[in-house]
Structure 1
Amino acid sequence: MNTEQLNTSETVVPDNKTEPVSPNRAFRKTWNPDKLMSFSAFLISVGTFLTFAYQTHLIQKQQFRSVLPYLMITQYTGYVNQDQKTISLQLFNNGVGPAFIEDIKISYQGKEYKSIYDFFIQGIYPDHKISTGRNNVVAGYVIPAGQALALLTSNDSQATTVLEKVFSSDSFSIEIVYSSLYEEKWKFTYKNGKYNPKPVKVD
């Protein structure tokens, strides 16, 4: 019986060639149906969360606007008759919600007063013995929506002349900080007898 023997001097080279893996096959190995479903569920959850957060933001914004106060100060002058002139400095809430007064500062000739009463008694009355009507607005006072409040008013001709000069003076100003039901705060300043600028939100 003859047998074939390998020549020991010959070297057998193994075949290292492997079949290339196609991208589709690699994708199928990495992204099986379970992983695809999990990833899709994750994307849906993120989308739902973002939608819910945006809707919540819109609802909150609408709620804040539904109680938004807007304070302004205006000066009215007129005549009871031909010889009797009247004047009134009024604080008006032109918003849709109540305004809670947080702070009020009245400045006149370099001095500050915490209320209309202090301003009148200490700043005007010592020099001018005039009679006026006053509403003493201080911190903690609430002004309902749509309500006007006369800070200072007078039907006396002498008082009207004095107050007109004071209200239009460069040295007179009123600064008020107020808040809404949701504790958003704004500040505005009345100065030089002009219509107050748009309130500035306070952080």
Structure 2
Amino acid sequence: MSTSALFVSVISVIALIYQSSLAREENVLIQTQQSASVLPHLSQWFSSSGGFKVVIGNKGVGPAFIKEVNITYDSIHHFNNTDNLFKHIFKTNHSLDSIGSTTSTFKKGYVLPANETIELIKISDPEGINIFRKILNTKSWFYSIEYEDVYGTRWELSSLGDTNVPRRISKD
């Protein structure tokens, strides 16, 4: 009798260990699915619909929490938000003095909801569009935007690569 009780106990412990292992694997799969269900996906583009626009959009399924914005203009001027960038461009290019534009602030702390866009700048005047595009084409400008999903996974969208695809930043 004691041998059979010992045998049943050993089998029970093995079954418990196996069940715990399966539960751990299931938990990892659930976490992966949850992360994918809230994944933000930022991209940047230019639009000529209704004027000239510089746009950043979140084409993902979750919000993007902006953690860092770094913009380099003309290789020597560094900005951490779009307001200061456009103020500098308009201040140093007098040909833009009489051109109307609409700008939006994009900086650290901003939250871009899923399927939303932000127009960083919009210029409607055709002459102003030509002048502004010429300035953007003659001066170098690069950006890097770091953002997180709701689980704290960090991503970077940068104009320094060949594509407009965010890359995951490893956690330290």
TM, length-normalised to structure 1: 0.73
Partner SS state of residue 69, structure 1: coil
Contact residue 87 and residue 154 of structure 1 kept, 8 A = yes
Residues 33-76 of structure 1 show CA distances to partners (whole Å, capped at 9, x for unaligned) of: 34433332222111101110011111111111111111111101
Cα pair distance change 1:44/1:101, threshold 3 Å = same
Aligned residue runs from structure 1 range 61-76, under 5 A? 61-76=32-47
Partner amino acid, structure 2, of 1:165: K
SS at match of 2:159: strand
Per the TM alignment, residue 92 of structure 1 is displaced from its structure 2 partner at its CA by 0.5
- After superposition, the CA RMSD in angstroms is 2.2
1:100 match: secondary structure: strand
- The correspondence of residues 64-143 of structure 1 with structure 2, limited to 5 A, is 64-78=35-49, 86-110=51-75, 111-128=77-94, 129=97, 130-143=99-112
Question: Cα deviation per residue 1:112-154 (whole Å; 9 max; x = unaligned)?
Answer: 1111110111234321323321011111111111111100110
> Given the superposition, is the C-alpha separation of residues 169 and 95 from structure 1 closer, same or farther in structure 2, using an over 3 Å criterion?
farther
The CA distance in 2 between the partners of 1:133 and 1:181, in whole Å, is 30
Match of 1:125, SS state, is: helix
Any stretches of 5+ residues in structure 1 without a counterpart? 1-31, 81-85
CA separation of 1:126 and 1:186: change in aligned 2, threshold 3 A: same
Report the number of matched residues.
164
The residue aligned with 2:16 is: 45
For residues 154-165 of structure 1, what are the structure 2 equivalents within 5 Å?
A: 154-165=123-134
Cα distance in 2 for partners of 1:168, 1:47 equals 62
Q: Please tell me whether Structure 1 or Structure 2 has the larger radius of gyration of its CA atoms.
A: 1
Normalising by structure 2, report the TM-score.
Answer: 0.85
RCO higher in 1 or 2 (8 Å CA, sep ≥ 6)? Answer: 2
